[in-house]
Amino acid sequence: MITDAQVERWLREDIGHHDVTNRVPGETTGRLVAKEGGVAAGLEAARAVFDYLGVDVFEACEPGSRIEPGDEVLRVAGATREVLRGERVAVNLVGHASGIATRTRRAVDEARTESDDVRIAATRKTTPGLRGLEKRAVVAGGGDTHRLDSSHMVMVKDNHVAELGLEDAVSRFRERASFATKIEVEVESPEDAPRAVEAGADVVLLDNMTPAGTRRGVELLAETDALVEASGGIRFETVADYAATGVDVISMGSLTHSAPALDLSFRTGEEAA
């Protein structure tokens, strides 16, 4: 849910305290147009911005829909001053989110060449203050949000193992977590995967392994109920190789932290007609 407080912060950051350029009288229309192909996302954020400013949003494409150059993504009408005030924030949000959705869809498409079941997931490598926007964009692209924050699932990482040891770390967090909270354990070698399950892991993360090492980890866990996730350095060029190993989840931080914004243009007045 996007709150008024979030929108206020976005607008305050962009407009500042002495806005002169947007003080234009009258009424106008505006439309957001794609300049390149991709997958649309972030429309709910743009709508929230214009709603806050009292600008009517009367057409918008569906999140997750494919768009081509020249396609209209969003159409608005209202006081010229308010349309102009919301323009740049809306374009930035939709462009950023659509870039993430487009990148996610590409990864999903690559994975589907080898597996119809593997999930492409995001990570917590998100921009502070924009995680909700970015995670929704991943979903729009056909991906999985993974955990939204560190309270959604216990993840035992290498630093925890270094400090506590694998078994003691799992035991410690299991005692403190709700019965409804899953525990995921990160391992750096296939041979440690069964050890993680024996310690109580619900999900095993095979971290920074080659496709061959990942396949070995999946084989060692074949007789267990644990979900298997692959992560670490996975690129578009190797997504299909990892999907072919039989893992349940492929997580990619690059979906959010390395996605270029989709190129969009906002046009007002007669141009918007």
pLDDT over 60 (residue 170): yes
Q: Supply the pTM of this predicted model.
A: 0.94
Q: Locate tokens 């593997």: which residue?
A: 118
Whether residue 94 contacts residue 41, with contact meaning beta carbons closer than 8 Å, is answered with yes
Q: Give the domain ranges of the chain.
A: 4-108+259-272, 114-257
State how beta strands 264-268 and 27-34 pair: antiparallel
pLDDT of residue 22: 78
Q: 114-257 is classed in which CATH architecture?
A: Alpha-Beta Barrel (3.20)
- Of the residues 125, 135, 157, 182, only one is catalytic, namely 125
pLDDT of residue 59: 82
Helix boundaries (H) for 17-165 = 43-52, 80-112, 131-140, 158-164
The confidence band for 1, taking pLDDT boundaries of 50, 70 and 90, is confident
pLDDT over 70 (residue 244): yes
> Among 122, 53, 125, which residue's Cα sits nearest to residue 90?
53
pLDDT of residue 271: 57
Ramachandran class of 251: left when φ > 0, alpha when ψ lies in -120 to 50, beta otherwise: beta
Q: Locate tokens 């141009």: which residue?
A: 271
Say whether 173 sits in a helix, a strand or coil. helix
Span 15-71, pLDDT tens digits: 888 778 878 889 999 999 999 999 999 999 999 999 999 999 988 899 999 999 999
pLDDT of residue 58: 86
The confidence band for 273, taking pLDDT boundaries of 50, 70 and 90, is low
Annotated catalytic residue 157: no
pLDDT of residue 113: 98
> Among 137, 181, 180, 134, which residue's Cα sits nearest to residue 156?
181
Mean pLDDT calculated for residue range 159-167: 92
Span 108-157, pLDDT tens digits: 999 999 999 999 999 999 999 999 999 999 999 999 999 999 999 999 99
pLDDT of residue 144: 98
Whether residue 197 contacts residue 189, with contact meaning beta carbons closer than 8 Å, is answered with no
Percent of the chain with pLDDT over 70: 99
Q: What is the CATH number assigned to the segment(s) 4-108+259-272?
A: 3.90.1170.20
pLDDT of residue 19: 78
Round the average pLDDT of the chain to a whole number and report it: 95
pLDDT of residue 272: 53
Axis-axis angle for helices 80-112, 131-140 (nearest 10): 50
pLDDT of residue 270: 60
Span 91-102, pLDDT tens digits: 999 999 999 999
